[in-house]
Amino acid sequence: MTRTYIPQEILAAAHERSAARAARDWEAADRLRAEIEAAGWRVVDAGTDFRLEPAHAPDLEEGGQVRYGRSTAVPSRLEDAATGLATVVLVGTNDAAGVARAIEGLRAGDPNGTSIVVVDDAPEDPPDNGAPNLGEPVEVVSTSARLGQGAAWNIGIRRASAPIVIVLDPSIEPTGDVVSPVVAALEDPAVAVAGAFGLATDDLRRFREVESGPAAAIEGYLMAFRRGDAAARGPIDERFQFYRNLDIWWSLVLRDEGADVAPRRAAVVPGLPLIRHENRAWERTPPPERERLSKRNFYRILDRFGARQDLAVPGD
């Protein structure tokens, strides 16, 4: 059996952390864990002992195609000059039919200059021949292990070539041009994020959907933002593995200009030509699990923005 090589400095940090835990010096233990994880390793505690594992899955090459083990291994276009009108990003995990339906709608209705990136995040039910063949000009990026929604969005953003990124959930079926209206909304520099469905809130703790007017956040079913803003404010926190509430967090990140500066706006674009189908991730996740994951994600919103009442938008 091949043993994984662990660099000496990582092993030393892990032993130092173990000693800090034994001394109940939790601050030092947390700092050392962060250093170990930042170096690409994960420490797994087992009573008073520990083991070290690589923090991410390996990159795999199969038939000339690379399947990536982490988002940062995916080649980035963010330093390249933007081209085209918009890049649409779909996360295709376990909804190949929805992805194909969404792409068919995009091809039928959207303007020239629209590129498409599908992130195939290690589906449980992969196609028999590997990653789906969706034709040109669709780019498919596959992962070697399930990385989760936050990492998948990061991958899509890294591969975006256009100045506007549109995250489109496979549950959305475009029936006309959904790209031009949201791109137009982002021509206003005061708008940070735009999309089909908005969320309003009085207190950043309870959100309600709004179909027009002021909003605090845009739902991730169809969410558009500037690639430059994503590069400047990202990457997305990859602890958001489940999709619920990631859209709220990312909307607030994009809108936030600092506590002493008025935030930018979230713009709801009403009347977009689309059909909204059931979300497969919601359907396939058992109710207790999706409740747990949703709450965990919401706590991340409160940790970062809970005191930022300036970001609340009550709506009409």
pLDDT in tens, 46-61: 777 888 877 777 778 8
Residue 251 has a pLDDT of 98
| Predicted local distance difference test score (pLDDT) of residue 128 | 44
Q: Residue 25 pLDDT more than 70?
A: yes
pLDDT tens across 249-282, in order? Answer: 999 999 999 989 999 999 999 999 999 999 988 8
Considering the domain architecture, whether residues 90 and 145 belong to the same structural domain is answered as yes
Task: Identify whether residues 21 and 112 lie together within a single domain.
Answer: no
Q: Is residue 210 part of a domain?
A: yes
CA distances from 76 to 71, 72, 138 (A): 10, 8, 17
Based on the fold, state whether residues 28 and 77 are members of the same structural domain. Answer: no
Residues 27 and 130 in one domain: no
What are the C-alpha distances in Å from 180 to residues 46, 85, 113, 227? Answer: 54, 9, 10, 16
Q: How many residues does the chain have?
A: 316
**182 and 156 part of one domain:** yes
Domain match, 133 and 186 both: yes
Parallel, antiparallel or unpaired: strands 86-91 and 164-168: parallel
- Residue 144: give the domain boundaries: 61-311
Q: In this structure, is residue 316 part of a structural domain?
A: no
Would 3 be classed as within a structural domain? no
pLDDT digits (tens, 9 = 90+) for 137-181: 799 999 988 899 999 999 999 999 999 999 999 999 999 999 999
Same domain, 48 and 156: no
Q: Encode pLDDT of 69-103 as tens digits.
A: 989 999 999 999 999 999 999 998 878 899 999 99
Residue 282 falls within a domain, yes or no?
Answer: yes
d(CA 172, CA 36): 40
- 299 inside domain: yes
Q: Does residue 128 sit within a domain?
A: yes
pTM for the whole structure = 0.83
pLDDT tens per residue, range 187-201: 999 999 999 999 999
- Non-local CB neighbours of 219 within 8 Å, separated by 6+ positions: 195, 196, 197, 198, 199, 209, 247
Q: How far is it between the farthest Cα atoms of the chain?
A: 64
Q: What confidence score (pLDDT) does residue 89 get?
A: 98
Q: What is the dihedral of CA 187, 192, 198, 202, to 10 degrees?
A: -140
Assess whether 15 and 82 both reside in one domain: no
Residue 27, beta-bridge partner list: none
How many domains, in total, are found in the chain?
2
Query: Mean pLDDT score of the chain, rounded to an integer?
Result: 90
Domain containing residue 180: CATH number: 3.90.550.10
pLDDT higher than threshold 70 for residue 136 = no
Which pLDDT value is given to residue 3?
A: 60
Residues 183 and 286 in one domain: yes
Residues 73 and 43 in one domain: no
pLDDT of residue 63 exceeding 90, the answer is no
Distance CA 305, CA 300 (A): 8
Listed as own residue / partner, the contacts of 78-84 with beta carbons closer than 8 Å and 24 or more positions apart are 78/157, 78/158, 78/160, 78/227, 78/230, 78/231, 80/161, 82/161, 82/162, 82/163, 82/227, 82/228, 83/161, 83/162, 84/113, 84/114, 84/115, 84/161, 84/162, 84/163
Question: Among 54, 69, 85, which residue terminates a domain?
Answer: 54
Helix (H) or strand (E) holding 168: strand 164-168
Distance in angstroms (rounded) separating the CA atoms of residues 307 and 267: 23
Indicate whether 1 belongs to any domain. Answer: no
Q: 3-class SS at 221?
A: coil
Q: Are residues 292 and 146 in the same domain?
A: yes
Q: Does 45 share its domain with 92? A: no
Residue 43 binned pLDDT confidence (cut-offs 50, 70, 90)? confident
